[in-house]
Structure 1
Amino acid sequence: MPAIDAQDLADRYIGMWNDPDPESRRKTVLDLWAEDGEHILLPPQQMHDQAVALGFATAALEARGHDELHARVTRAYEEFVAPGTFVFRLQEAPRQVRDVVTFRWEAFQREEGQVTGGGRDFLVLDEAGRIRFDYQFPD
């Protein structure tokens, strides 16, 4: 695996969620993720509980491959960032051990001028240094 600058990777990753340009977001998805990369999100507790009540053993949400990943990032941008409600930003410096990079992020609500959410990401990189698995755990 090539040497990875964990700070640069995390900055580009967070920047992608805030990027207003759809083509730039798509290019970043292509640059950051492996072709078969996956984003696996632990859903909010209410959504998890509803899925379990319906008989699902697990309630993780997944986006797989560049098209689904781009759709996921675009949807988050349109819902949270585009209306001017939130901006996503790093909460702590990323840490790396071998092929894993982890960091905390936060959702800053512009109107209230405060952090109203956040979470932790665990990125598992492939041999080319691209994201193979992105495990996201919102608070």
Structure 2
Amino acid sequence: MSDFTTLAERYIAAWNETDDAARRSAVAELWTADGRYVDPLVDAEGTEGIAATIGAVQAQFPGFVFRLAGPVDGHHEQLRFSWELGPEGEAAPIAGSDVAVTDGNGRLRTVLGFLDRVPS
């Protein structure tokens, strides 16, 4: 289970990386080249598309940070976890849950995101 937790922590860290070059590098290390991220607002393919999506979310919510919200659960080549997005040290106005499928070698192949709480 700790491998799944580490993977989720690395995923969250990539979403929080504000330096463009470091973010692209983190995504390239974390995802397969043909990786895909899908949520209700975006369908991003490949590491460049995923890194660009993360950058766009950061631009939309400047100063907000992602954090895990509870334990990471996983089995076989899949994991699920909940997260929050908000100002550091404050209540998060945005929350969601992700389900991820790995390639069996510790890299993400697909992440399916769900928005559980969004501001009106």
TM-score by length of 1: 0.76
> Which structure: greater strand fraction?
2
Greater RCO, CA 8 A, separation 6+ = 1
- Consecutive unaligned residues of structure 1, counting only runs of 5 or more, are 44-60
User: Is 1:109 aligned to residue 90 of structure 2?
Assistant: no
Q: Which residue of 1 aligns with 2:13?
A: 15
2:7–2:106 contact (8 Å) kept in structure 1: no
Q: Which residue of 2 aligns with 1:79?
A: 60
Q: Return the alpha-carbon distance in structure 1 between the equivalents of residues 53 and 2 of structure 2.
A: 25
Q: Which residue of 2 aligns with 1:120?
A: 97
Q: Return the alpha-carbon distance in structure 1 between the equivalents of residues 87 and 51 of structure 2.
A: 23
Aligned length: 116
Shift of 1:108: 2.3
Shift of 1:15: 1.1
Q: Return the alpha-carbon distance in structure 1 between the equivalents of residues 67 and 78 of structure 2.
A: 20
- Consecutive unaligned residues of structure 2, counting only runs of 5 or more, are none
Shift of 1:91: 0.2
SS in 2 for 1:115: coil
Q: Which residue of 2 aligns with 1:89?
A: 67
2:36–2:111 contact (8 Å) kept in structure 1: yes
Percent identity reads 34
Q: Return the alpha-carbon distance in structure 2 between the equivalents of residues 129 and 87 of structure 1.
A: 24
